[in-house]
Amino acid sequence: MNFQVTATQSGSLARTGVLETPNGSIKTPAFMPVGTSGAVKTLSAEEVKSLGAEIILGNTYHLRIRPGEKVIEKFGGLSKWSNWNGPILTDSGGYQAYSLGRAKNKLSKITEEGVKFRSHIDGKLLFFSPENVLDIQRSLNSDIAMVIDDCPPIEATEKRVRQAVYRTTDWAKRSIEYWQQQKMGEQGRALFGIIQGGLFKELREQSAREIQELPFDGIAVGGVAIASEGKEKINKAVDYVAHLLDKSRPHYLMGVGEPADLIRMVDKGMDMFDCVLPTRLARHGSFWTTEDYQLKTISHAAYTEDSAPLDQNCQCPTCQKYTRSYLRHLFMVNESLAMRALSIHNLSVLLELMKRIRASIENDTFKTEFSDYVS
RNA sequence: GCUGGGUUAGCGAAGUGGUCAAACGCAUCUGACUGUAAAUCAGACGCCCUCGUGGCUUCGUAGGUUCGACUCCUACACCCAGCA
């Protein structure tokens, strides 16, 4: 994998870059739509591509359960199998260790060795380790693999977060060792490490130091999206680490997010983002507008006879064709086209925003153009 | 016309003497959603207010029994089924 910074913004950590992977190159800052189980929900790979996405995510945990990575391997990997035919990043299952572990009937348990999972589909016991998670991602033929990390809830105690940092580093070392031993990076595949540390400055700094000592191709910041704690704290958690990040490697902020967050985090030097929000919100009937990047709800009675598109200034296929009135109706009667149309729009909003951000950094106008969002 | 069954909030449907403004589902309204157990979840949903162990009006209609009726009785209206 190769990463080149192509422009920087004065007075900011924001930069543009190009990330080259075996399946193509990616302009950063980039937003990566999430295709957990092999598809960005409700959309085809071609549709996602046509909106301007250059890379999408897949998920180790979900694809391990169904259909099993061996099936996908037979078809040359997830990218080909799904007809995406472009770069993919696969998440490792670290987040599922967190989210399934929080469930009422705890479906995951973290130990020194790895994570024990119970499949949320049939309850079958699974085990993920730093090593086997890389095996699975190699079978999926991902361009960018993620290490498995220990991602405690945002409200976790300092003691628990300290343990998570320790474990994340330990697992990171095992990951790199296995990666090199198995020569997994030889075809240009990349492995990213993940910084943890919750909301604690020293732990974030420690984690950043420890992870960056290892020869990862990229550095991710994890554990920041899982919060109803308030954005201030999340911002801080990223601030603790932002100026410590190695500028020669891409920075991936995991699980973010909302348009305003993307802008703010680009300012802090983040290059890559992923988030389920655009597609989940769409399925739940919410959409962004580019005017203020605020969320609106298509089911509101006020839209019953609204002849405007979702967003007056949006060039996406949905906004070119459909009125709010029609989309509201589709949503109310549960037509799947409503979810598809809103997914297309929401993804377009984020992908177009990234395009705008990149252009502004190249023109060194990022700070002024987005002055409403960054200080 | 006779016999039997039925009529409950926007709709469907529980409730068969008191704790019933009335379960539950749908519809509707409003929130939430951030490395996807999420086309999910939560709240409201007779009317009124100073929003409370508050007030008012309801269970086809009109009467009655009872301390007390959605629940029992009578009449009427309408609906369904069977028989004429």
The dihedrals phi and psi of A8, each to the nearest 5 degrees, come to: -130, 155
Residue A90: per-residue pLDDT:
98
CATH architecture of A2-275: Alpha-Beta Barrel (3.20)
Closest-lying nucleotide for A227 based on CA to C1': B34
pLDDT higher than threshold 80 for residue A226: no
Distance in Å from B24's C1' to A151's CA comes to: 41
- Residue A257 — pLDDT band, cuts 50, 70, 90? confident
- The tens digit of pLDDT for each residue in A86-141 reads 999 999 999 999 999 988 889 999 999 999 999 999 999 999 999 999 999 999 99
- The tens digit of pLDDT for each residue in A144-201 reads 999 999 999 888 999 999 999 999 999 999 999 999 999 999 999 999 999 999 999 9
Give the tokens for residue A184: 């997994």
Residue A225: per-residue pLDDT:
82
Instruction: Establish whether A91 is a catalytic residue.
Output: yes
Instruction: Establish whether A364 is a catalytic residue.
Output: no
Residue type, A323: T
What's the whole-number mean pLDDT along residues A19-38? 98
Give the tokens for residue A68: 């099993």
Tell me the C-alpha distance between A34 and A330, whole Å. 24
Residue A42: per-residue pLDDT:
98
Average pLDDT for chain A = 96
Residue A103: per-residue pLDDT:
85
Closest-lying nucleotide for A343 based on CA to C1': B39
Give the tokens for residue A85: 């035919």
pLDDT higher than threshold 90 for residue A233: no
- Which residue is catalytic, options A149, A217, A267, A274? A274
Residue A230: per-residue pLDDT:
72
Residue type, A245: L
Percent of chain A with pLDDT over 70: 99
Tell me the C-alpha distance between A123 and A330, whole Å. 35
Tell me the C-alpha distance between A192 and A185, whole Å. 11
Residue A227: per-residue pLDDT:
61
Residue type, A97: A
pLDDT higher than threshold 70 for residue A284: yes
pTM of the model: 0.95
Q: Quick check: A90 and A58 in contact, CB under 8 A?
A: yes
Tell me the C-alpha distance between A114 and A183, whole Å. 22
Residue extents of the structural domains in chain A: 2-275, 276-366
Distance in Å from B11's C1' to A51's CA comes to: 42
- The tens digit of pLDDT for each residue in A353-369 reads 999 999 999 999 999 99
Distance in Å from B30's C1' to A10's CA comes to: 44
Nucleotides of B under 7 A from a protein CB: 27-41
Residue A375: per-residue pLDDT:
83
Closest-lying nucleotide for A303 based on CA to C1': B29
Distance in Å from B52's C1' to A344's CA comes to: 48
Give the tokens for residue A360: 């502004």
Closest-lying nucleotide for A301 based on CA to C1': B29
pLDDT higher than threshold 80 for residue A228: no
pLDDT higher than threshold 90 for residue A232: no
Distance in Å from B77's C1' to A225's CA comes to: 64
Please write down the HEC assignment for all residues of chain A.
Answer: CEEEEEEECCCCCCEEEEEEECCEEEEECEEEEECCCCCCCCCCHHHHHHCCCCCEEEEHHHHHHCCCHHHHHHCCCHHHHCCCCCCEEEECCHHHHHHHHCCCCCCEEECCCCEEEECCCCCCEEEECHHHHHHHHHHCCCCEEECCCCCCCCCCCHHHHHHHHHHHHHHHHHHHHHHHHCCCCCCCCEEEEEECCCCCHHHHHHHHHHHHCCCCCEEEECCCCCCCCCHHHHHHHHHHHHCCCCCCCCEEECCCCCHHHHHHHHHCCCCEEEECHHHHHHHCCEEECCCCCCEEECCCHHHCCCCCCCCCCCCCHHHHHCCHHHHHHHHHCCCHHHHHHHHHHHHHHHHHHHHHHHHHHHCCCHHHHCCCCCC
pLDDT higher than threshold 70 for residue A326: yes
